Amino acid sequence: MRKYSFIALAALGFAALLNSCAKGEKSASSGALASNAAEKVYVKPGTHDDFYAFVSGGFSGQLSVYGLPSGRLFKVIPVFSQDPEKAYGYNEETKPMLNTSHGFIPWDDAHHPDISQTNGELDGRFVFINGNNTPRIAKIDLTTFETTEIIEIPNSAGNHSSSFVTENTEYVVAGTRFSVPVPQRDMPINEYKGNFKGALSFLSVDPEDGRMDIKFQLMMPGFDYDLSHPGRGKSHGWFFFTTYNTEEANSLLEVNASQNDKDFIAAVNWKVIEEYVNNGGGTKMPANYAHNVYDEHTHSATSTMKKEVLVVDPLKVPGAVYFLPTPKSPHGCDVDPSGEYIIGNGKLSADLTVHSFTKMLDAIEKKKFDGEAYGIPILKFEDVLAGTVNSGGLGPLHTEFDGKGNAYTTFFISSEVVKWKLETWEVVDRQPCYYSVGHLMIPGGNSRKPFGKYVMAMNKITKDRYLPTGPEVTQSAQLYDISGEKMELLLDFPTIGEPHYAAGIPADIVKKNSKKIFKLSENKHPHATLNDSEVRIERNGKEVHIYMTMIRSHFNPDNIEGVKVGDKVYFHVTNLEQDYDVPHGISMIGAQTSELLIMPGQTETFVWEPKQVGVWPFYCPDFCSALHQEMQGYVRVSPADSDIELSGTLGE
Amino acid sequence: MKIILRSSAVLFSVLLMSCGGKEEKKKDGFSLDRAKSKTEQPVAKTENKSTVKASETIDLTNKGVGPIKSVTLGAEIDTDLAKQGEEVYKQMCMACHRVGKKFIGPAPNGILERRTPEWVMNMILNPDGMVKEDPLAKELLQEFNGSPMANQGLTEDQARAVVEYFRTL
């Protein structure tokens, strides 16, 4: 007995010791992370985040949807890459979305999401995002969170200075990174200089249905067009593009494109060009590019090849384009909420160059030119300069704004976010990033009305920040609280693919419009089976069409006979559920495609070409009810010369 | 009891064989005495006083749980409304409920002789709530293998029309 109490006493003492130790450690480490950081990102189970963040997937080709401040991942929206989880690019309905002039392209490099705006403020209707590799612009509808339109950009390559929207979503802009021969032709590469062209494409967006159309392409000198942003407020009607490789090098750009002390920001007056085009200006040029549209009512996409594009020579439109000299191969090109300041982030520099829109207009009016490049007037650097931010950092890339007079710039080489003041240009704070930050995002941070509560930095390298996963490790986002004087690091979270850029928006603007189901009464899919009396199987030569329905928890029909080896079997499957969050799936053994995952009221189609005689099962891969495991069926496959009658039954 | 069951199984398999046609008929599966009467019913009996199945229970006072508090049926069947109800039924209900035949769920025939119209409409409009809170709905879920009644998002007017259609069956 005495022994026991001694042990108990000792244990107690040890625990007290441990306790005091833990306390000591905590206070020692609180310098790196303020103690209430966890509280600030804690979103209670069952409650919602304040912001949506649409984060580009880079080389995953997709767009992921996170909540802020929690960093929770809600959905990966397939855009430019096939996604077997959602059958995007696998089912017959969405295959046309990935059609291009090069045929079916199942992948792209997704870079810069931007949310549609009205009066310079986020309106939450659409997200636009660019495909970099096979140049495309996609539109995602924020009622369904699905990609509903993709348009290919002709005469373009490495579609990088994209896809940014003007103040009323009049245009979404797609600028080429590579200059290329226009039209494409067989010619020596080293004859690039003076012969290649850089196309800046302005895609009109229909105010009613959001339909995109290439209104015109501005054929610029053969530089590389890196990033862009629209003017806003006083500078609405202009668009600004950073350029590099004004040397027009075609090889070893690492060296040869860094020779000039200054490259340019191209200031494009799109209002003037729009007027010129509306009055019949421009040249119609033969082209070949795909325009893919997904219709929410037919649940199907169509792809149309367009054969013409309107091209504008900037020299034919007086006052259309000016060059603003900007030091050291500027990368990001950002415009402050007032529209007055245009920031060029010279990526080989330590300093930021800020141009003044007012000074630019003044210099243009007084024709204070410093020469020309291919006939386009170059303004004098000193005449347009508003100020320089002596950052003390290295490798500035991108800038966003909090709407309270502060700007936040990422520095790739020195791996940090630097906060500075507009107009005084003084640096007021800096926080490290882990590691090598690219873009950053403040919700609404490139609009007239930023929501300056958080900044999210997107990092290219994470090395030791997470549990290792072999040579390939995750990239990441880092969330900082910017509501106070000093930025405060709150959270690190891994991302899907490479997060090139993100667009954030208050959740309240978007969530109320999010669709819950597709109404069966509005389903206009040509192969829909809207009720069980329409269930049928039809043969047309070697094609078999199964018009199937699904509801918790069975398929109708679930016994199918009369299918033969060599047939091409189309499963047109309609989910008859009309309740929120009750999708059903279907997967067929040996089908050389993905599953289907069908939302309530939706119809989707997959193709199966049976090669072996037998009785082959199919089932629902989405856990739909307590009887999900019973949701299954069989297809009897008979030899090619069989005369078994085609039949489909359920419960017989 | 056991003997009767066994012999009926044999009879059933003979029946199956006779209509098999050209199909394979060697394996009729195996028969195993696993009728519910032997194992499950005694347990059920201790819980419920009645042996009447939930689908056959008559309860003309229970209005169920949901938005519908009171429905007045006309003396005559409103044939236009019943026709509308039949359309809705075909579109939204037939995947699980077949007229004149037990399917995934019970047949609607004669339902208004066993249930109040309010109960029927609440079952259509609020199946999740009914299955949680209404004793008969709970029992029905068990009787029908745990297959849940789906909320098909009908409006109150549509549900009312379906009730009118049920009066014609």
* 8 A C-beta contact, residue A547 and residue A572: yes
Closest CA to A480 of A429, A446, A436, A444: A429
Q: What is the pLDDT of residues A86-111, one digit of tens each?
A: 999 999 999 999 999 999 999 999 99
- Listing DSSP states for A339-382 in one string gives S-EEEEEETTSSEEEEEEHHHHHHHHHTT-EEEEETTEEEE-HH
**What 3-state class would DSSP assign to A228?**
strand
Residue A197 DSSP label: B
Domain boundaries, chain A: 51-511, 520-649
Q: Apex CA B111: angle with CA B45 and CA B41, to 5°?
A: 15
For testing contact with chain A, the best of B23, B27, B147, B162 (most A CBs within 10 A)? B147
Whether A485 contacts A429, CB under 8 Å: yes
* A29-33, A190-194, A412-416, A460-464: range with lowest mean pLDDT: A29-33
Asked if the C-beta of B11 comes within 8 angstroms of chain A's C-beta atoms, the answer is no
Q: How much is the pLDDT for B37?
A: 52
A530, A551, A582 ranked by CB distance to B96: nearest: A551
Other CB atoms within a 10 A radius of the CB of residue B138 amount to 14
Q: Please give the pLDDT value at position A596.
A: 98
Give the pLDDT score at A480: 98
Q: Would you say residue B53 has pLDDT above 50?
A: yes
- DSSP letter at A645 equals P
How many residues comprise chain B?
A: 169
Give the residue on A whose Cα is nearest the Cα of B101: A651
Distance, in Å, from the CA atom of A347 to the CA atom of A412, rounded to the nearest integer, reads 8
pLDDT at A310 over 70: yes
Residue B169 sits at the chain A interface (C-beta within 8 Å) = no
Q: According to the model, what pLDDT value does residue A270 have? A: 98
Lookup result for tokens 């709530």: B129
Please state whether the peptide bond connecting residue A45 to the residue before it is cis, i.e. omega within 30 degrees of 0.
no
Distance from CA of B121 to the nearest CA of A (A): 16
The pLDDT value given to residue B132 = 94
Chain B partners within 8 Å of A652 (Cβ)? none
pLDDT at A626: 83
The predicted-structure confidence for A5-19, as pLDDT tens digits, reads as follows 444 444 444 444 444
Q: Quick check: A551 and B150 CB within 8 A?
A: yes
Q: Does B62 touch chain A (CB under 8 A)?
A: no
Residue A637 tokens read as 């496959």
Q: Where are the beta strands (DSSP E) in A93-186?
A: 99-100, 103-104, 114-118, 121-131, 136-141, 146-152, 161-165, 171-175
- Would you state the pLDDT for residue A420? 97
Q: What is the pLDDT of residues A619-640, one digit of tens each?
A: 999 998 888 899 999 999 999 9
Instruction: Return the pLDDT at B45.
Output: 42
Look up the ipTM and state it: 0.73
**What is the least distance, in Å, from the CA of A587 to any CA of chain B?**
20
Are A419 and A432 in contact by the 8 Å Cβ rule? The answer is no
The mean pLDDT value for B82-96 works out to: 94
Q: Reduce the DSSP state of residue B139 to 3 states and report it.
A: helix
Average pLDDT of the residues in A347-359: 93
Predicted confidence at residue B27, as pLDDT, reads: 63
Give the per-residue pLDDT at A209: 93
Tokens of A265: 């920001």
Given this model, what pLDDT does residue B33 score?
A: 66
Q: Answer yes or no: CATH 2.130.10.10 is held by domain A51-511.
A: yes
Contact across the interface for A549 and B150, Cβ inside 8 Å: no
Both B106 and B153 in a single domain? yes
Counting residues of chain A whose pLDDT is more than 90, the rounded percentage is 90
Average pLDDT, chain A: 94
Q: Can the peptide bond before residue A101 be classed as cis, meaning omega within 30 degrees of 0?
A: no
* A194 CB-contact burial (10 Å; exposed 0-12 / middle 13-18 / buried 19+): exposed
**pLDDT class for B39, splitting at 50, 70, 90?**
very low
Give B93→chain A minimum CA distance, Å.
Answer: 9
In this structure, are residues A331 and A353 in contact, taking their beta carbons and an 8 Å threshold?
A: no
Residue B147: pLDDT band by 50, 70, 90 thresholds? confident
The DSSP-derived string for A458-497 is EES--TTSS---SS----EEEEEE-SSSS-EEEEEEE-SS
**pLDDT tens digits for range A14-64:** 444 444 444 434 444 444 555 689 999 999 999 999 999 999 999 999 999
B83 and B147 in a single domain? The answer is yes
Number of domains in chain B: 2
- Residue that the structure tokens 């996604």 belong to: A83
Residues 6+ apart with CB under 8 A from A368: A379, A380, A383
- Nearest of A269, A282, A259 to residue A328 by alpha carbon: A259
C-alpha span between A416 and A445 (Å, rounded): 18
Whether residue B19 lies inside any domain: the answer is yes
Rounded to whole angstroms, the Cα distance separating A327 from A344 reads: 8
Distance from CA of A637 to the nearest CA of B (A): 14
Which tokens belong to A598? 């069908």
Residues of A in contact with B88 (CB under 8 A): none
Residue B25 lies in a domain: yes
pLDDT at B2: 45
Cα torsion angle, A103, A105, A111, A112, sign: positive
- Measure Cα distances from B52 to A277, B44, B59, B131 in Å: 80, 11, 12, 19
Collapsing DSSP to helix, strand or coil, B157 comes out as helix
Q: In angstroms, what CA-CA distances link A433 with A469, A501, A628?
A: 21, 15, 46
Q: Which residues of A touch B94 (CB under 8 A)?
A: 531-533
**Exposed, middle or buried by CB within 10 Å (0-12, 13-18, 19+), for B37?**
exposed
From chain A, the residues in CB contact with B153 under 8 A are 517, 578-579
Measure the CA–CA gap between A149 and A160, rounded to whole angstroms.
19
Q: Is B72 domain-assigned?
A: no
Compute the mean pLDDT over every residue in chain B, rounded to the nearest whole number: 82
Judge whether B64 lies within some domain.
Answer: no
Same domain, yes or no, for B113 and B160? Answer: yes
Q: Does one domain contain both B151 and B99? A: yes
What pLDDT score was predicted for residue A334?
97
pLDDT at B24 > cutoff 70 = no
Where does the pLDDT of residue B35 fall: very low under 50, low under 70, confident under 90, or very high at 90 and above?
low
Task: Tell which CATH architecture fits domain A520-649.
Answer: Sandwich (2.60)
Kindly list the residues from chain A whose CB atom is less than 8 angstroms away from the CB atom of residue B148. Answer: 552, 625-626
pTM of the model: 0.89
Instruction: Flag whether pLDDT at A142 surpasses 50.
Output: yes
- From residue A68, alpha-carbon distances to A40, A142, A348, A454, A479 in Å are 10, 17, 32, 9, 8
Q: What are phi and psi of A15, to 5 degrees?
A: -65, -40
pLDDT beyond 80 at B49: no
**pLDDT of the residue at A33:** 54
| A140 pLDDT more than 50 | yes
Q: For position B30, what pLDDT does the model report?
A: 76
Distance between CA atoms of residues A557 and A536, nearest Å: 8
pLDDT greater than 70 at residue A186: yes
Q: State residue A107's pLDDT score.
A: 98
pLDDT tops 90 at residue B125: yes
Indicate whether B60 belongs to any domain.
no
Are B39 and B86 within one domain? Answer: no
Cβ distance B150 to A520 less than 8 Å, yes or no, reads no
For residue A378, what are the β-bridge partners? Answer: A323
In a domain, B52, yes or no: no
A373-411 pLDDT, tens digit each: 999 999 999 999 999 999 889 999 999 999 999 999 999
Q: Looking at the partner chain, which of B91, B147, B151 has a beta carbon nearest the beta carbon of A553?
A: B147
Cross-chain Cβ contact B91/A531 below 8 Å: yes
Q: Which range of residues forms the domain containing residue B135?
A: 79-167
3-state SS string for A259-299: CCCEEEEEEEEHHHHHHHHHCCCCEEEEEEEEEEEEECCCC
Query: pLDDT-based confidence at B20, cuts 50/70/90?
Result: very low
Is B92–A520 a contact, with Cβ atoms under 8 angstroms apart?
yes
Q: What is the pLDDT of residues A482-533, one digit of tens each?
A: 999 999 999 999 999 999 999 999 999 999 999 999 999 999 999 999 999 9
Residue A139 has pLDDT above 50, yes or no: yes
Contact B153 A626 (CB under 8 A): no
Q: Is B16 on the interface with A (CB under 8 A)?
A: no
